[in-house]
């Protein structure tokens, strides 16, 4: 029996994870979790609502006030987080298959981009536990002044479906390292690995109530968490629209701290002197990796006019050969979109590209070949002759649709690059070191990659400029999200 078959057989209806125990939703209702690649029903999870969020927040608050976690010896906390990384590593294959089943991404991508980074994040933040401390500050007058870095309290983590485990861990690992207690609300479409994470955390030694998971919809469970008066902080990754709703919820409740990792429409800028093969490969995987459902997708390809046609011809011929299909097959290049709604959204953007006069070079439609007809597959799509003001150059599509735009000068490239509401990531391809650094200065984005794309490391901060959000995940910067600084004055 394959791992996938074994997992399917084991998938009994899931429960919420509150105070270290499985619980049903107070309303008794459930949500179906389906495999988007096949339409098969995988299992159900509780349709958690405000009452369940309230129970979870109460448990998190109790653990925080009793100091069961934050009061634990730092070296012990460090060992527990490291232990959790080891448990995830031991179960890596199962987690990758589960992620592929609920999300439709290839199992290769789930292993490399979800499970691998999740393991690394717990190892990295385990190392921080004993290194989070304050400072002594020379002040005027006869005083001793020092700071304490204290855990912010109860953290609500609201996460999306595109990298379910990875993004959940980007919140949970630093929050736990700082001594916070957490209520995690995964996407209603991909709740299974978050529930597994909570079980593994208990197994690793995280005390009950410190990590709780409430499954449910955004407008009910998510909203209840965002408006809860006893939540100190919301850490969010998702759409810009929901980001606004969370800010509003904070403003209308207890002014809880909010950090937002939102959408993107990222420019990937190719100058004619660059090394072409890695640039083409990165442009390709930058948009077709994870079926384009990546906040950091290289969705706008800005190519210098001197190399434009050759660059696109190669890219398009590869896109036509990309194998789209069964995500569990290790030879598959691109899996299924997350849902019918998402697929239709992507197809409607493709239609708008055609309607507005962009040149469709390949793809442009649903892929229904063979068993793909049961899932939500979209053919890798490339548009040329895209104008910066077109909808497909301005709005986040969140699918395998590339918009290629021609440019002539660095100044024009900068203007196009900065000409959207977003500012998440960007890339520049050139051998000219001065030009590369000048571009890095001029582009308004949280990351600039030079002669590479999608460079990620747990140690390096990630987050947006402009309407791509604020606050940083990863690295030492994430610790600022989960700590308060207290200034203590002692008259001497």
Cβ-contact 382, 315 below 8 angstroms: yes
Q: Of 63, 113, 193, 242, which lies in the binding site for ligand NAD, with binding defined by CB under 6 A? A: 242
Give the residue with the Cβ less far from ligand NAD, 5 or 457. Answer: 457
Q: Is 219 in the site for ligand NAD (CB under 6 A)?
A: yes
Give the residue with the Cβ less far from ligand NAD, 143 or 217. Answer: 217
Q: Of 33, 129, 152, 158, which lies in the binding site for ligand NAD, with binding defined by CB under 6 A? A: 158
Environment class of 481 (CB within 10 Å of its CB; exposed 0-12, middle 13-18, buried 19+): buried
**Runs of H (alpha helix) within 134-256:** 164-177, 192-204, 223-227, 240-252
Cβ-contact 64, 154 below 8 angstroms: yes
Contacts of 389 (CB under 8 A, 6+ apart): none
Told to judge if 295 belongs to the known catalytic residues of this protein, a careful annotator would answer yes
Q: Of 153, 160, 179, 292, which lies in the binding site for ligand NAD, with binding defined by CB under 6 A? A: 160
Region of 446 (left: φ > 0; alpha: ψ -120 to 50; beta: rest) is: alpha
Contacts of 121 (CB under 8 A, 6+ apart): 166, 169, 170, 173, 174, 458, 474
Told to judge if 261 belongs to the known catalytic residues of this protein, a careful annotator would answer yes
Q: Is 247 in the site for ligand NAD (CB under 6 A)?
A: no
Binding to ligand NAD, residues 390-409 (CB under 6 A): 396, 398
Q: With CB under 6 A, what is the number of residues at the site for ligand NAD?
A: 30
Give the residue with the Cβ less far from ligand NAD, 145 or 339. Answer: 339
Q: Is 259 in the site for ligand NAD (CB under 6 A)?
A: no
Give the residue with the Cβ less far from ligand NAD, 234 or 428. Answer: 234
Largest alpha-carbon pair distance within the chain?
A: 80
Three-state DSSP at 163 gives coil
Binding to ligand NAD, residues 339-398 (CB under 6 A): 396, 398
- CA nearest 305: which of 383, 410, 407? 407
Environment class of 147 (CB within 10 Å of its CB; exposed 0-12, middle 13-18, buried 19+): middle
Q: Of 99, 102, 232, 261, which lies in the binding site for ligand NAD, with binding defined by CB under 6 A? A: 261
Three-state DSSP at 83 gives helix
CA–CA gap between residue 419 and residue 292 (Å, rounded): 21
Q: Is 49 in the site for ligand NAD (CB under 6 A)?
A: no
Q: Is 238 in the site for ligand NAD (CB under 6 A)?
A: yes
* Candidates 91-99, 214-222, 310-318, 355-363; binding stretch for ligand NAD (CB under 6 A): 214-222
Residues binding ligand NAD (CB under 6 A)? 158-162, 167, 185, 187-188, 217-219, 222-223, 226, 237-239, 242, 245-246, 261-264, 295, 396, 398, 424, 464
Catalytic amino acids? 261, 295
């Amino acid at each position: 029996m394959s791992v996938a078959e074994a997992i399917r057989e084991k998938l009994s209806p899931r429960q919420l994870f509150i105070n270290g125990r499985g619980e049903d939703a107070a309303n008794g209702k459930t949500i179906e979790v389906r495999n988007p690649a096949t339409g098969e029903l995988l299992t159900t999870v509780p349709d958690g609502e405000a009452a369940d969020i309230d129970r979870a927040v109460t448990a998190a608050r109790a653990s925080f006030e009793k100091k069961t976690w934050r009061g634990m010896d730092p070296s012990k906390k460090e060992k527990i987080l490291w232990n959790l990384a080891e448990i995830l590593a031991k179960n890596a294959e199962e987690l990758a298959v589960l992620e592929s089943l609920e999300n439709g991404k290839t199992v290769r991508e789930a292993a490399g981009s979800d499970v691998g980074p999740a393991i690394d994040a717990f190892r990295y933040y385990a190392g921080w536990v004993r290194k989070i401390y304050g400072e002594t500050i020379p002040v005027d007058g006869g005083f001793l002044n020092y700071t304490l870095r204290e855990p912010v309290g109860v953290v609500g983590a609201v996460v999306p479906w595109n990298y379910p485990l990875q993004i959940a861990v980007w919140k949970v690992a630093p929050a736990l390292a700082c001594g916070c207690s957490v209520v995690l609300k995964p996407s209603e479409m991909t709740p299974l690995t978050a529930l597994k994470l909570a079980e593994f955390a208990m197994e690793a030694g995280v005390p009950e109530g410190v990590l709780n998971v409430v499954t449910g919809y955004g407008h009910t469970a998510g909203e209840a968490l965002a408006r809860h008066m006893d939540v100190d902080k919301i850490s969010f990754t998702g759409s810009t629209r929901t980001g606004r709703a969370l800010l509003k919820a904070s403003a209308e409740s207890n002014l809880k701290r909010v950090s937002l990792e939102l959408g993107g429409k990222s420019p990937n800028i190719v100058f004619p002197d660059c090394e072409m093969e890695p640039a083409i490969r990165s442009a390709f995987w930058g948009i077709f990796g994870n079926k384009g459902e990546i906040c950091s997708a290289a969705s706008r390809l800005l190519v210098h006019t001197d190399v434009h046609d050759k660059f696109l011809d190669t890219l398009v011929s590869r896109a036509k050969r990309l194998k789209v299909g069964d995500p569990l097959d290790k030879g598959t290049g691109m899996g299924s979109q997350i849902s019918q709604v998402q697929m239709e959204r992507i197809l409607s953007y493709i239609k708008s590209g055609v309607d507005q006069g962009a040149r469709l070079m390949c793809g442009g439609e649903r892929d229904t070949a063979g068993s793909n007809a049961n899932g939500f597959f979209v053919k890798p799509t490339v548009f040329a002759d895209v104008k910066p003001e077109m909808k497909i150059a301005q709005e986040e599509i969140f699918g395998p649709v590339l918009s290629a735009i021609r440019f002539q000068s660095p100044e024009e490239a900068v203007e196009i690059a900065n000409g959207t509401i977003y500012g998440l990531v960007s890339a520049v391809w050139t051998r000219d070191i001065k030009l590369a650094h000048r571009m890095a200065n001029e582009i308004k984005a949280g990351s600039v990659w030079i002669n590479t794309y999608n460079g990620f490391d747990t140690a390096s901060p990630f987050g947006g400029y402009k309407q791509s959000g604020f606050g940083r995940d990863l690295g030492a910067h994430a610790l600022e999200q989960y700590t308060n600084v207290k200034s203590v004055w002692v008259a001497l």
